[in-house]
Amino acid sequence: MKILVTGANGYIGRHIVKYLLDHDHEVIAADLRYDKVDERAKRSHENIFSGDKDIYNKLGQPDVCIHLAWRDGFNHGSDAHIMDLPKHYEFLKNMIQGGLKRLDVMGTMHEVGYHEGAIDETTPCNPMSMYGIAKNALREMLLVLTKNSDCKLTWTRAYYILGDDEGNHSIFTKILEAAKEGKTTFPFNSGKNQYDFISVTGLAKQISEVSIQDEVLGTINVCSGKPVALKDKVEEFIKERHLNISLDYGKFPDRPYDSPIVYGDVSKIQKILKK
263 part of the active site:
no
Q: What is the pTM of this model?
A: 0.93
d(CA 164, CA 139): 28
Please give the class, per CATH, of domain 2-161+197-223+265-273: alpha beta
Which residue type does 227 have?
Answer: P
Question: Can you give the pLDDT at residue 164?
Answer: 83
Domains of the chain, by residue range, sit at 2-161+197-223+265-273
- Residue 195 is predicted with a pLDDT of 95
Cβ-based burial of 258 (10 A; exposed 0-12, middle 13-18, buried ≥19): middle
- Among 101, 114, 59, 136, smallest CA distance to 217 is for 101
Which of 11, 131, 159, 263 is an active site residue?
A: 131
What is the pLDDT, as a whole number, of residue 254?
Answer: 82
Instruction: Quote the pLDDT of residue 182.
Output: 96
At residue 46, the pLDDT reads: 97
**pLDDT values of the chain reduced to their tens digit, one per residue, 275 residues:** 999 999 999 999 999 999 999 999 999 999 999 999 999 999 999 999 999 999 999 999 999 999 999 999 889 999 999 999 999 999 999 999 999 999 999 999 999 999 999 999 999 999 999 999 999 999 999 999 999 999 999 999 999 999 887 767 788 999 999 999 999 999 999 999 999 999 999 999 999 999 999 999 999 999 999 999 999 999 999 999 999 999 999 998 887 767 899 999 999 999 999 97
pLDDT recorded at residue 170: 84
The pLDDT value recorded for residue 133 is 98
